Amino acid sequence: MNQLIELKRVTTKKDKPDLSSLGFGKHFTDHMFVMEYDKEKGWHDPRITPYEPLVLDPAAAVFHYGQAIFEGLKAYRTSDNRVLLFRPSKNIHRLNVSSERMSMPPLDEELVLEAVQQLIDLERDWIPTKEGTSLYIRPFVIATESCLGVKPALQYKFMIILSPVGAYYANQLQPVRIFVEEDYVRAVRGGVGAVKTGGNYAASLQAQLKAEKLGYDQVLWLDGVEKKYVEEVGSMNIFFKIKGEVFTPALNGSILGGITRDSVIEMLRSWNVPVHERRITIQEVYEAYQRGEIEEVFGTGTAAVISPVGELSWNDERMIINNFETGELSMKIYQEMTDIQLGRIPDPYQWTVEV
């Protein structure tokens, strides 16, 4: 840490929101972290300030040419009142993977980790206690230079905001119905599917609306080239358990390398469950289904941790997975992962970082 993070506290704290109706990303804490970048000074003026509106020129590049990247991770409160982060360095490193692809300046990863920790420490009383709730951490970078030329901006703002969020599942894991999308495409090799940039999410909304209209919860994305290979489910990675072995699409440049995905793979391998990262066609999924070999399907992501898939609809074929029930392995991963995140069991993987 070579830069001091300045701190300007609020004079009056906000009332905390009702824990029973937190939702996701609607409420924000009293403070935020900010720093700016320009060509001359690099990243500078790191500070924690009261949460307040941004003032930007209407010509700021983020409004016009989409240079924007973000991350999402959570702080958890343990039953003995400690505060744990889950693999924060992984998220912070991915920010830099994203910034490189989007022609944005790299961040000092140590400084960002320090910023996350100081901000969380300051906002400790915002971390909700109820089962399944947490404090969502949203680091993001936007291009702020006021210029309409199409080029990498010369000025940026990096911020971290915090939002107390409700439990993803009201009671227990809830299998979802998935529509295999064959018209809209999320990403293609040579594009930006492997990085967390706003444009990927905006582009996905039409397909999500279409799936919802058809009565499904989310979309399963196929590759943009052949529309044959399974890529992601909604904004999660996807796993298939077939005859006791687990399969997930290999990171191919158009799939986001999820941190939960990475953790699930490591966990399964430590349990001696075979995991295969490779290309998976939707056709072979269907054929395995017909042979009765598909045991479980689940998505992985920061929000849900594990999201069991109860149904996959592909063309006119409806595949009902595991009788629309949460599978044993899905449940076991979810339990172990959340137990580690909440400090209920020892963390053999050294994933958690105490604040």
Beta pairing, strands 245-249 & 275-278: parallel
To which H or E segment does residue 42 belong? strand 42-50
Task: Provide, rounded to whole angstroms, the least separation between the CB of residue 324 and its own copies.
Answer: 25
d(CA 340, CA 67): 35
Q: Output 65 or 286, the one with its CB closest to its own copies.
A: 65
Task: Provide, rounded to whole angstroms, the least separation between the CB of residue 349 and its own copies.
Answer: 27
Q: For CA atoms 22, 27, 32, 36, give the dihedral sign.
A: positive
* Amino acid at site 202: A
Task: Provide, rounded to whole angstroms, the least separation between the CB of residue 331 and its own copies.
Answer: 25
Residues in contact with its own copies, total (CB under 8 A)? Answer: 65
Position 297 contacts its own copies (CB under 8 A): no
Beta pairing, strands 218-222 & 176-181: parallel
DSSP state of 150: S
Position 39 contacts its own copies (CB under 8 A): no
Question: Which of 90, 162, 169 minimizes the C-alpha distance to 133?
Answer: 169
Position 264 contacts its own copies (CB under 8 A): no
10 DSSP β-pair partners: none
Task: Provide, rounded to whole angstroms, the least separation between the CB of residue 346 and its own copies.
Answer: 32
d(CA 84, CA 353): 5
Position 247 contacts its own copies (CB under 8 A): no
Q: Output 115 or 329, the one with its CB closest to its own copies.
A: 115
Could you give the angle at the alpha carbon of 287 between the alpha carbons of 204 and 178, nearest 5°? 25
Residues 22, 48, 62, 236: which binds its own copies (CB under 8 A)? Answer: 62
Position 191 contacts its own copies (CB under 8 A): yes
Position 70 contacts its own copies (CB under 8 A): yes
Q: By the criterion CB under 8 A, which residues form the site for its own copies?
A: 23-26, 28, 32, 51, 53-60, 62-68, 70, 101-103, 136, 138, 140, 142, 146-152, 159, 161, 163, 183-185, 187-192, 197-206, 208-209, 224-225, 227, 235
